[in-house]
Amino acid sequence: MKQIVRLFASVLIAGFALMYLTSYLNSEQGYSGGNTLTVYNWGDYIDPDLIGKFEKETGVKVIYQTFDSNEAMLTKVAQGGTTFDVAVPSDYAISKMREENLLLPIDKEQIPNLKNIDPHFMDLSFDPGNVYSVPYFWGTVGVVFNPELVNGKTFESWEDLWSPDLRNQILLVDGAREVVGMGLNSLGYSLNDTNEEHLQEALKKLNKLTPNVKALVGDEIKMLLANEEAAVGLVWSGDASEILSENEKLDYVVPKEGSNLWFDNMVVPKTAKNLKAAHQFINFMLDPENAAKNAEYVGYSTPNREALKLLPEDISGDERFYPPAELTEKLEVYDNLGKKMLAHYNELFLEFKMHSK
C-alpha cells in the first residue's frame, strides 16, 4: 500500500517539476508575455524570410504554429487555452467562426495597406464588408490533366470529364462541396444550389461519371497525379501548382462553365493577446513587396493588386492561376449553406461514392 502511495506521489512531484521547468524555459525564451505574436497558419504557407523581416522591423517575436485542416484549427480556437493572435482559415471556416463568435473585428485604421487588395476579392459572402478578415491567398477548383493521355481533350468544359475514353482515369478530391459543386456546375447550376430537383439531377449526372472515376482521395492526390497514376484529377489550384511544379508534363485548367473561388484569409481569433502586433503583422503581409515575395514562395494566387505588378511576367501572366476577368466572374465562393444543407450535400456525396461502376 505504502509503495503505491509513494509511487503516485513521486509521479505527481515529477509532473509538477516538469511543468515548472517548461514554464521556466518558455519564459527564458521570451515565450510568455512580453512582445510576442502567435501566428497560426497552414504548414509551409509563408516565406520564412518574411517572419525574420517582420521581427526585425517591429521587434515583435513571432511564434509560428501550423494546422492541417480548418476543422482542427476551429476546434483549437474554440476550446481556448491558446493565444493565437493571427490565424489563416478558409472562407467557409471564417463564416463558421463568425457565427460562433470566435473572431475579433479588424481595425482597418491600423491596416493602411488594405488599399492594395483587389476590390474583387473584398466584401464576399463569407465576410460581408470584411469586418473580420483580410484576403491572404485565393484560388480555384479545376482539372489537372496529362495532355499525352487524354486524346487532345482540353477540359475547357466539365463535359470532357464524361467522355467514355477516360474510363478509370479520373481522380477526384475527397470533398463533398467540390464534387457535388462540379456536378452542379456541369449542368449550369450554381454550386450553392439548394433546389432539391437540381441536386438530384446533379447526383444522377455524377453517377454517370463513376466508370471514369478511379478513386476519391485526400492529400495523396498530389502524389498520385504527379506520379501519373491517373491522367486527370479534380483539384484545388493550390494543389495544382504544387503538382505542376513536380511534373512539368501536366497542365491545369478551370472549365468555362464556372467553378469555385476559394480564399484563405487572415483573421484575428478571439484568443488574441497582442492586438497591436496582430494588426502590424496583417499590414506587413499586405505590403506589395512582402506579398509578392510570399506569393513567389508559396505559389498560390495573391489577391494583392500592387504585389501582382511586382511579380515576374511568367507568374502574373499565367492564366491558369490568374484567370482573365470573364472567367473570374463565373467563379463562385461557397456560401455557408447551414449545417443541414451541408449534411445533405455530404449524403449525396456518400450516395455517389457508393454508386457501383
Partner 1 sequence: MKTNSRNLYLIPYAAWIALFVVAPIVLIVYYSFRDIEGNWSLSNYAHFFTPVYMRMTLSSFWYALLITLFSLLVAYPTAYLLTKAKHKQLWLLLIILPSWVNLLLKAYAFIGLFGTYGFANAFLESVGLGRQQILFTDFSFVFVSVYIFIPFMLLPIFNSLEELNPTLIQAARDLGASPWTTFRRVVFPLTIDGVKSGCQAVFIPALSLFMITRLIAGNRVITLGTAIEQHFLVTQDWGMGATIAVFLVIVMAVIMAVTGRRRRGARG
Q: Where does this chain bind partner 1 (CB under 8 A)?
A: 1, 4, 69, 71, 168, 171, 174, 176, 213-218, 220, 224, 227-229, 339-340, 342-343, 346-347, 350-351, 353-354, 357
Decide if 59 contacts 32 (C-beta within 8 A). no
Nearer to partner 1 by Cβ, of 230 and 295: the residue is: 230
What is the longest distance spanned by two Cα atoms in the chain?
A: 80
Please say whether the beta carbons of 328 and 263 come within 8 A.
no
Q: Coil, strand or helix: which one is 233?
A: strand
Q: What are phi and psi of 117, to 5 degrees?
A: -75, 135
Task: Judge whether 213 and 170 are in contact, CB under 8 Å.
Answer: yes
132 is in an annotated binding site: no
Our CB check for partner 1 shows the closer of 113 and 260 to be 260
Q: HSE of 324 in the Cβ direction (CA atoms, 13 Å)?
A: 3
Shortest Å distance, C-beta 353 to partner 1: 5
CB of 50 to partner 1, least distance (A): 32
Q: Give 62 or 199: the residue with its C-beta nearer to partner 1.
A: 199
Look at residue 153 and give its three-state secondary structure: coil
Closest distance to partner 1 from the beta carbon of 286 (Å): 32
Instruction: Choose between 114 and 224: whose C-beta lies nearer to partner 1.
Output: 224
Environment class of residue 86 by beta-carbon count within 10 Å: exposed (0-12), middle (13-18) or buried (19+)?
buried
Q: What minimum distance in Å lies between the beta carbon of 91 and partner 1?
A: 16
> Is 175 in contact with 257 (CB distance < 8 Å)?
no
Task: CB nearer to partner 1: give 4 or 325.
Answer: 4
Q: How far is the CB of 231 from partner 1 (least distance, A)?
A: 10
Binding annotation: 92
Binding annotation for spermidine: 92
